[in-house]
């Protein structure tokens, strides 16, 4: 029985969300998943035709294939799915990083993705290393496009990517595009003036469960697609237990709920931005 809380946030109901990696679908049997508390089945009819059906009402839900994923919208889509310009560039691997189910609110997963402070402790030897634990000040703002942008982020990383041979100070830009979608741009170790891009599409399964769907646009220079994928899976396997230990599982939006520190400037603004959008699904709303 579906005991999940249903979503009332129009900003989420009327948006597109990834509900599956296309590689996980088969025409033999329907693929079962859940979006915003609603159980869904994806039926593949032949090679290209697909239907996404609500299990509770039997109604068809709007769906699209893009970037290797199946997307669904439970309401009336107010806008197109997130555009990833780097996916149009021919010299990049476009890699879906595997769908990682995590027992935590998807908003927590986004916030964790924005947090450089955990690198030396969670991704030791890869994305960080002691004694390089300090997060240097960076800029954070809401753009005219109503996206949250963090720039001038720098962090020393011993093994920033599968092609890195030495540690170096990596430049990062983070962009929160939608409440459950966040992108990270980081300097490529070979073509240092260009950026590798990881977009994390987080599927809000219900308020306390999500599936993280990473989409990687990595320059092909010096690396195979399999290497990109396995690196991402290694990093995410390190994040999953940390995320699943977070208490509470939903993200508190009250500014007083979890004491902010300077390095959390982006997290503080993310929570405020969610409050301004009246996003409550997956959150513990601020007290009035
Ligand atoms: Fe992490």
Query: Does residue 58 share a domain with residue 184?
Result: no
Contacts of 223 (CB under 8 A, 6+ apart): 93, 161, 162, 163
* Sequence-separated contacts (24+) of 169-178 with Cβ below 8 Å: 172/116, 173/149, 174/113, 174/114, 174/148, 174/149, 174/150, 174/266, 175/147, 175/148, 175/149, 175/150, 176/110, 176/114, 176/147, 176/148, 176/270, 176/273, 177/82, 177/147, 178/15, 178/82
Reported as a single tens digit per residue, the pLDDT across 217-257 is 999 998 899 999 998 999 999 999 999 999 999 999 987 77
pLDDT recorded at residue 58: 97
Query: Does residue 58 share a domain with residue 197?
Result: no
Query: Does residue 97 share a domain with residue 216?
Result: yes
Reported as a single tens digit per residue, the pLDDT across 82-136 is 999 999 999 999 999 789 999 999 999 999 999 988 888 888 888 888 888 888 8
Question: What is the CATH number for 124?
Answer: 3.90.380.10
How many domains, in total, are found in the chain? 2
Query: Does residue 106 share a domain with residue 214?
Result: yes
Rounded distance, CA 166 to CA 157, Å? 9
Query: Does residue 21 share a domain with residue 99?
Result: no
Query: Does residue 154 share a domain with residue 251?
Result: yes
Query: Does residue 190 share a domain with residue 50?
Result: no
Rounded distance, CA 55 to CA 76, Å? 19
Reported as a single tens digit per residue, the pLDDT across 41-87 is 999 987 778 899 999 999 999 999 999 999 999 999 999 999 999 99
Q: What angle do CA 60, 101, 260 make, to 5 degrees?
A: 115
Calculate how far, in angstroms, residue 90's C-alpha sits from the geometric centre of ligand 1. 28
Residue 5 lies in a domain: no
Calculate how far, in angstroms, residue 121's C-alpha sits from the geometric centre of ligand 1. 9
| 68 HSE (CA, 13 A, CB side) | 19
Query: Which residue carries 């033999």 as its tokens?
Result: 28
Residue 54 lies in a domain: yes
Q: Please provide residue 21's backbone torsions phi and psi, each rounded to the nearest 5 degrees.
A: -85, 130
pLDDT recorded at residue 260: 63
**29, 53, 73 — which closes off a domain?**
73
Question: What is the CATH number for 21?
Answer: 2.20.25
Calculate how far, in angstroms, residue 237's C-alpha sits from the geometric centre of ligand 1. 9
Query: Does residue 154 share a domain with residue 15?
Result: no
Residue 225 lies in a domain: yes
pLDDT recorded at residue 83: 96
Q: What angle do CA 72, 76, 80 make, to 5 degrees?
A: 65
Largest separation between any pair of C-alpha atoms in the chain: 56
Query: Does residue 154 share a domain with residue 47?
Result: no
Calculate how far, in angstroms, residue 122's C-alpha sits from the geometric centre of ligand 1. 6
Query: Does residue 52 share a domain with residue 96?
Result: no
Reported as a single tens digit per residue, the pLDDT across 1-33 is 455 678 999 999 999 999 999 999 988 899 999
**In terms of residue numbers, what domain contains 69?**
10-73
**46, 73, 100 — which closes off a domain?**
73
* CB neighbour class for 261 (10 Å; exposed up to 12, middle 13-18, buried from 19): exposed
pLDDT recorded at residue 1: 46
Query: Does residue 249 share a domain with residue 189?
Result: yes
Asked if 251 contacts 107 with a C-beta cutoff of 8 angstroms, the reply is: yes
Q: Could you tell me the pTM of the whole model?
A: 0.94
**30, 52, 73 — which closes off a domain?**
73
Query: Does residue 112 share a domain with residue 192?
Result: yes
Q: How confident is the model at residue 262 (pLDDT cuts 50, 70, 90)?
A: low
pLDDT score of 275 more than 70: yes
Ion ligand 1 neighbours (CB, 5 A) are 239
Calculate how far, in angstroms, residue 283's C-alpha sits from the geometric centre of ligand 1. 20
């Amino acid at each position: 029985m579906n005991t999940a809380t249903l979503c009332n946030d129009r900003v989420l109901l009327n948006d597109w969300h990834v509900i599956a990696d296309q590689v996980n679908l088969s025409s033999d049997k329907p693929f079962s998943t859940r979006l915003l508390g609603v159980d869904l089945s994806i039926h593949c009819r032949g090679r290209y035709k697909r239907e996404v059906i609500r299990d509770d009402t039997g109604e068809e839900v709007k769906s699209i294939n893009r970037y290797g994923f199946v997307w669904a919208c439970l309401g009336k889509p107010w806008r197109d799915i997130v555009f990833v310009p780097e996916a149009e560039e021919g010299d990049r691997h476009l890699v879906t990083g595997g769908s990682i189910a995590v027992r935590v609110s998807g908003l927590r997963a986004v916030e964790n993705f924005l947090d450089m402070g955990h690198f030396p402790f969670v991704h030791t030897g890869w994305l960080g290393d002691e004694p390089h634990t300090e997060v240097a000040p960076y800029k954070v703002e809401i753009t005219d496009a109503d996206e949250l942008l963090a720039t001038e982020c720098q962090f020393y990383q011993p093994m920033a990517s599968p092609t890195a041979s030495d540690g170096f100070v990596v430049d990062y830009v983070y962009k929160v595009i939608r409440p459950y979608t966040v992108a990270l741009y980081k300097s490529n170790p070979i073509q240092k003036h260009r950026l590798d891009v990881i977009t994390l599409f987080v599927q809000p399964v219900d308020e306390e469960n999500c599936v993280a769907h990473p989409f990687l646009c990595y320059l092909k220079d010096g690396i195979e697609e399999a290497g990109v994928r396995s690196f991402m899976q290694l990093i995410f396997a390190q994040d999953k237990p940390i995320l699943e230990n977070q208490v509470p599982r939903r993200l508190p939006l009250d500014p007083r709920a979890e004491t902010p520190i300077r390095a959390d400037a982006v997290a503080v603004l993310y929570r405020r931005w969610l409050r301004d959008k009246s996003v409550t699904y997956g959150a513990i709303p601020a007290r009035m």
